[in-house]
Structure formats: structure tokens, C-alpha cells
Homo-oligomer: A and B are copies of this chain.
């Protein structure tokens, strides 16, 4: 991995938007194939309760993404005050629909909180898969590599360290109580930055040629922006570019992958169901 830095090249930017677009094109082609061969397409149920603006825009992004690749989205809009029983009955209806292959809910104990947990898990699995997909799509193998995960949160640091371990990396997790984190990070072939600290990982902490996945999304004051802030990762991107072999930008790295991986999971679910 060190050949890049020997040549004093800048790091290759791992462009999440471009990779996500590639994945979507592949999905579109597979969906066309399923449609031609079996006369069926994958279906994703999208249920939205209420009119919160952020939920609405997130869901409309999902629906657009589905349409783009030929996945049929089953849109259900319910008012904020929908009775829980009605919501549950709607979900059971979707669940029973053989054309829906993702966001399906099961279990007699279904309740709204259970649904929310389920939805969060689906998002979260897609997000984690996105991180690893960015590495593999950039031609970076994980097996036998030294990976250092910075941060040990239950929702990012811990699960990604387990995924890396399953992919045969030698994994170290560093955190706020780690002595001399720099020296440990400096040994990593792969750095996953998930500390939630703006630009904390400096260029001098990085092994020449290392691959960096920056999961951080931190808002820092920036009066030059209309919003008064800009988003930065956990890595000092400018410095890191001079040392690393590969790096994801923030934004535009891990973020765009989540929806692409959700679509991919929907496709895989449909393939299993259709080919049965």
C-alpha cells in the first residue's frame, strides 16, 4: 500500500456518490433481468407517519432511488395521529403482500416501538455494509490487514470492528481512554474514524498509503456558509490527503452508500423470493 506515498501522490478520493451510482446501475440491470425472466420486480414498502420535513425528504429520496432502479415502492402515508392499531394493521397488510421484499415486519408482538427499532436496524445494517463496500469497490482487501477503529460506540465503532474482524482484519479499537492513540493509529492499514470529533485525526497520525473511511459528520462554525456551519469528518482531510492512499470525503463518502445498500438488500430479498 505504500507505493502511492513513495511517489508523493495525493490520496485517491473514495467517492461515495460515484460508487453508489455504480451500485444503482448494477441493481437496475439486475432488476431488468428479473423483470424479463420472471415478470416480477423487487418491492420496497415505505411507510411514513406524519409530515416531519426531514422524514419527508428522506422518504422522497428513497422513493426516487427506487424508481431510478426499477424497484417498485409501496408508498403509505399515514397522519401523525394514526391510531397504533391502524398502523400495525397496515404493516401486517404490507407484510402479507408477496410483492414486498423489504421493510417487512413480522411477529405477533408487533408494536410501534418495535417497528421503529426494525427500521433503525435496517438503516444501520445498510450503513455498515456501505462502509465495507467502499473498501472493496476501491480494490482494498481487508483480509490480514491491520484495521484500527477510532471510537467504540454501540451503533458504529463496535459493529464495524466486528464486521472487520469477520472479514479477517486484525482489529484494534481505540477510544477516549487509550494512551497514545496516535502511535496505534499510525500502524493501521485501514482506519475507520468514528469518534465524532471534528478533524481529530491528523496527517501525522496516518501511515503512508493507508485507507481511511471517515464516518464522522461534525458541524463546525463557518461564517462563509449561508447556514453558518459546514460539515467535516473526524479526519483532517487536507492533511490526510497528503499521506493516505485512499480517503472518503465528508460529505459524499459513507453517506450516499446507505440508500444504495438498502436497495441492494431489497434486490437480494426479491431474488431469494422470486427464485424460490
Binding site for B on A (CB under 8 A): 143-144, 146, 152, 158, 162, 165, 168, 170-175, 177-179, 181, 184
Contact = CB atoms under 8 A, between A and B. Distances in A.
Copies of this protein chain in the complex: 2
Nearest to A167: B177
Nearest to A145: B179
Nearest to A171: B173
Given A144-B178, A170-B177, 5 more contacts: A143-B177, A144-B177, A170-B173, A170-B178, A170-B179
Contacts of A173: 165, 170-172
Contact of A170 (B143, B144, B162, B174): B174
A144 to B, nearest CB: 5
Nearest to A177: B168
Contacts of A146: 179
Given A170-B172, A170-B184, A172-B172, A152 B165 contact: yes
Contacts of A168: 175, 177
Contacts of A184: 170
A8 to B, nearest CB: 27
Contacts of A177: 143-144, 168, 170
